[in-house]
Structure 1
Amino acid sequence: MAFMSPTDSLFLLTETDKQPMHVGGLLIFGAPEDSTSSDLINQALEDRRVSDFLRNVAEPHFAGTAWTWRHDADIDFDQHVKRHQLPPGASEGDLLALCAQLHSERLDRSRPLWEIHVIEGLPLDRFALYAKIHHSVADGVAALSLLRSRLSDDPDIREMPAPWVDAAPEEQPSHSGAGPLRSLVSLVKDGVSTAPALADMTLRSLASRGGPLSISAPKTVFTQDISEERAYAAKSWPLERLRLIAKSADCTVNDVVLTMCAGGLREFLIEMGELPRKSLVAMVPVSMRPQSDDTTAGNQVGLLTCSLGTNIPDARERLLHVSARMREGKNFIASHNATQNLVTSAAAVAGLAPMVMLGRNLLVNPPFNVVISNIPGPSEPLYWNGALLEEIHPLSIPVSGLALNITCVSQCDRISVGLTAASDVVPEPDEIAVDIDSALDELERSVGL
């Protein structure tokens, strides 16, 4: 029995039917080289073995304030792995709509907190996997590392196990739990050591100098209560386009990603007649893992807030503004240790907890307007029994008061942006995806490309 960290437990404590706390990924594969996708899927579904890591059930303790993992030796395979057939002539929009529907459905806590949906019927004998896993189990970096361990960079390898089967022993993720007394002692020690960091965070927020805390975000159309229904859109671009902009403007690719999203949100809100005079603020998760291939279960994520410059008409000036704010935030992280960064991040969003737990927006002005994550994915082509992984599209978590979540994943020479929204607030997030595409064109022109 392993106790969860307070961060991991929080995703269970704040979950409601309207706010499922799982993340997801849509993986699109090309046709296998020497068989059909149907044959490959049939063979995989015959293997009903399940990884030990995927047999853990969350259990509450101390009136639900702390949670542990319990191993389940006899899970119901058919409740976790399911097969879908798209209708003839189905489009990518139909695939994304199916994923939005599946992403709306809360995971059953009486079972291990994951599902994998195998989806057939894509053109050219392609197929897809939509996988979702509770955020208490893994953050985005750990989930992608787990994915990487199930695939191969060798297109000629066959007889690979299904994604739900055990990986090699050295690639197995592990839960890093501790006893409740030890966790309490550590928390007290950490509280003493993080007091200066919390003071620094507060002073930076008052001076608008970057860091985890923001007190300047305006109210927007996204600051609403939400229903349980989800809408989803995804779009991808060659990564080289972003690299050239970053080189021309002497900034990072992540700065370009944030500014693309800022430009898209600005245009979307202008079209609605709802652009605030003050800049939107993004919450930007930052991995605190020591290595990008770390598969330790749970969450090791710090947070930064970043003014997106949506009140700046010029695209290049907006990019320079975002880059400067992110540089200030990174300086904050660099000047504190991992524990301090995790604690200050938790403190910065503590005010959201009652709102999230009640499923109602209780704030006149939110601390930030949108979550924008950028997760590094595999840098080399990956295969599953000869089928090339062509695309990865991420899905994430909207909550009341934050009805839109934007998550980006890079893969080889492309980057994908997934927009997960509460459909009653943002019924057509594909409109924002189109505006982000236009914002990328605008950024290229602004730096002379």
Structure 2
Amino acid sequence: MVSPIDPTGTGFLLAENRSMPMHVGGLQLFEKPEGAGRNYGREMYESMRDVDEIAPLFLKRPHRSLGTAGQLVWVEDEQFDIDHHIRHSALPKPGRIRELLDLSSRLHSTRLAWERPLWEAHVIEGLRDGRVALYTKVHHSLVDGISAMRLVQSTLTPDPDLRDMPPPWDARTRRDRPERAPSSGGSLADLPAQAYRSALGITAEAAGMPGALIKTLTKSVRNETSSVSLFAPRTIFNQSITGSRRFAAQDWPIERLRAIGTATDTTINDVVLAMCGGAVRRYLLELDALPDAPLVAMVPVGLKAKESHLASTEGGNAVGAVMCRLGTDLDDPLDRLLSISAAMTDGKEALASMTPAQIMAMSAIGQAPAILAPILRMQGIVRPPYNLIISNVPGPRETQYWNGAKMVGHYPLSIPINGMALNITCISYDGNLGFGLTGCRRTVPHLQRLLSHLDSEVSAMEKAAGVA
């Protein structure tokens, strides 16, 4: 069966090269069910491998030929072999989290072969505390990051006694639906294609587009927060990258971050951005590479237009981008937090004055330099529109289980690109916020140091806010 690949998916496939694998990933940690034996890791692997029918989404591979007029299309893999996609691995001693992150980094560095469906799952045992890990990766042409996370979550349950939960690729899940399709929402990575595609059919929106653009550009020229940035400094993050990846991950209790927000009248998302801004400041100071001008982060923002006409970082029916100055020029952690909070409030209010179509169009314009520079090989020549991406995705609030195994950690792995060597993505889960830092191993040296800097920033903000 042949089906077309939408323009966004085609773009991800064509943009991919050895330096830029275009897949998203996830790392979950599980505690063994009570009474599980020494062979539990093997049993988990076999239960994920031995499925009767594979869901259609997981059978598709890209193909082009004279018969398709050179266009990329999806075809069903007639030689599908589950053993190419489900792997069983063990960590070397001493089996620390460090070894797990090293393995995840290597797995995330390798491209998915077009000759097979573009996904893999690795059951990993050998952690000295007995836990079992699951690393999965799916090409961004198949699903976006949020859809990939939902695929994993669709096979989890809050019931610890349920024992008939299939893996995401089992046809019983009927989860072939998250394929990319036109909608009012979506992921930030879809913004340019959605905006440009919808621009062809804009009618009533067209009258307000010039005004929205002028307003956005005026705020940018004034160095105020908007969907377009004209003031991002050059940093070590904004250069060509290699295909080698480094991944670091850690949890922080949401209550700690909420206490800081309550004491300072800021949001949890503001606190997360301040953590990242302070950590990046410390990291670049260590490398004697901190620019005088504040770094700029691209932050996904959802718009709940139908409900309240107000922008929200909790998601909604339209997605936009706010370019937020991270206060890396400020030494005081409280000053940095309040500066970020004011910038985000200003940016969300600006988005709230636009229609969803205008938001997508402005966000697409803001991202254009970041997208075009790597394609035209102009990174380092043109000024970066922003320095890194920081996103915060809501996840399950309840404890989740897979066939009795308790999930105790959930961390995202994302996509660095040429000119944007660091990506920070957070997922909330069961009272914790899991940070996943994905970067180019060579361009972002000693990436794991950012974790200790993030922790130092939480403590510094607690002390400054009087909640330590």
Asked if these proteins are the same fold (TM beyond 0.5), I'd say: yes
Aligned to 2:108: 103
SS across alignment from 2:262: helix
Once the two structures are superposed, residues 57-116 of structure 1 have per-residue CA deviations (whole angstroms, 9 ceiling, x without a partner) of 234699999754444465221221111111242111010000000100111123222111
Q: What is the CA distance between 1:364 and its match in structure 2?
A: 4.6
Residues 1:266 and 2:281 aligned together: yes
The answer to which of 299-308 and 411-420 deviates more is 299-308
- Pairing 1:14–2:15 present: yes
| 8 Å CA contact retained: 2:300, 2:320 | yes
Q: CA RMSD in A?
A: 2.9
Report if aligned partners of 1:190, 1:340 keep a CA contact under 8 Å in 2: no
| 1:153 Cα deviation after fit | 0.8
Counterpart code for 1:14: A
* 2:56 paired with 1:52: yes
Cα separation, 1, equivalents of 2:275 and 2:359: 27
Point out the more displaced range, 161-170 or 236-245.
161-170
Change (3 A) 1:306 1:184: closer
Contact 2:49 2:82 in 1 (8 A): no
CA distance in 2, matches of 1:344, 1:169: 36
Distance 1:33 1:385, change over 3 A: same
Q: Which of 397, 403, 411 in structure 2 is aligned with 1:393? A: 411
Distance 2:121 2:304 in 1: 26
Decide whether the 8 Å contact of 2:143 with 2:178 is kept in 1.
no
Determine which of 353, 356, 374 is the counterpart of 2:374. Answer: 356
Q: 1:18·1:359 contact (CA, 8 Å) conserved in 2?
A: no
SS in 1 for 2:434: strand
C-alpha distance in 2, partners of 1:341/1:425?
32
- Residue aligned with 1:309, SS: coil
Amino acid at match of 1:443: M
AA of the residue aligned to 2:82:
F
- 1:188 pairs with one of 190, 197, 200: 200
1:211 deviates by: 2.0
The answer to whether residue 324 in structure 2 is matched with residue 302 in structure 1 is no
What secondary structure sits across from 2:239 in the alignment?
coil
Distance in 2 of aligned mates of 1:61 and 1:446: 62
Alignment partner for residue 126 of structure 2, among 118, 121, 126?
121
Alignment of 1:249-328 (within 5 A): 249-287=264-302, 301-328=319-346
What one-letter code is carried by the residue in structure 1 that aligns with 2:300? P
**For 2:169, what is the secondary structure of its paired residue?**
coil
Q: 1:113 to 1:285 in 2, by over 3 A?
A: farther
User: Which digits, 9 at most, give the CA deviation of each residue in 1:173-232, with x for residues without a partner?
Assistant: 244269xxx999844123863444333322221122322210101111212211111111
State whether structure 2 residue 360 is matched by structure 1 residue 342: yes
Question: Relative contact order (C-alpha < 8 Å, sep 6+): which is higher?
Answer: 1
Question: Amino acid of the residue matched to residue 419 of structure 1?
Answer: L
Check conservation: 1:31, 1:124, Cα contact below 8 A. Answer: no
| Other structure's SS at 2:371 match | helix
C-alpha change, 1:197 and 1:104, in structure 2 (3 Å) is same
Matches within 5 A, 1:193-204: 193=206, 194-204=209-219
1:381 Cα offset (Å):
0.6
Amino acid at match of 1:28: L
8 A Cα contact 2:216 2:228, kept in partner: yes
Distance in 2 separating the partners of 1:442 and 1:239: 16
The percentage of counterpart residues that share the same residue type is 38
Q: Does 1:229 align with 2:244?
A: yes
Query: 1:171, 1:268 → 2: CA distance?
Result: 41
| CA contact 1:234–1:418 (8 Å) conserved in 2 | yes
Q: Given the alignment, which residue of 187, 205, 219 partners 2:234?
A: 219
The match for 2:158 is: 153
Separation in structure 1 between the aligned mates of residue 75 and residue 323 of structure 2, nearest angstrom: 36
Please say which of residues 157-166 and 396-405 is displaced more in the overlay.
Answer: 157-166
Matched with 1:89 is: 94
1:139 aligned to 128, 139, 144, which one? 144
Distance 1:55 1:160 in 2: 20
Cα gap change, 1:183 to 1:420, in 2 (>3 Å): closer
| Larger displacement relative to structure 2 (2-11 or 85-94) | 2-11
* Letter in structure 2 aligned against 1:223: N
| Equivalences, count | 439
Query: What residue in structure 2 maps to residue 206 of structure 1?
Result: 221
For the structure 1 residues 102 and 202, does the alpha-carbon distance in structure 2 shift closer, same or farther, using more than 3 Å as the test?
same
2 CA distance for matches of 1:415 and 1:300? 24
> Pick from 435, 440, 460: which aligns with 1:442?
460
Q: Is the 8 A contact 1:19 1:359 kept in 2?
A: no
- Aligned residue number for residue 314 of structure 2: none
Q: CA separation of 1:170/1:101 partners in 2, compared to 1, >3 Å: closer, same or farther?
A: closer
Over 3 Å counting, the alpha-carbon distance change for 1:44 and 1:309 in structure 2 is: same
**Alignment partner, residue 372 of structure 1:** 390
Preserved contact between residue 397 and residue 420 of structure 1 (Cα < 8 Å): yes
Which shows bigger deviation, 185-194 or 408-417?
A: 185-194
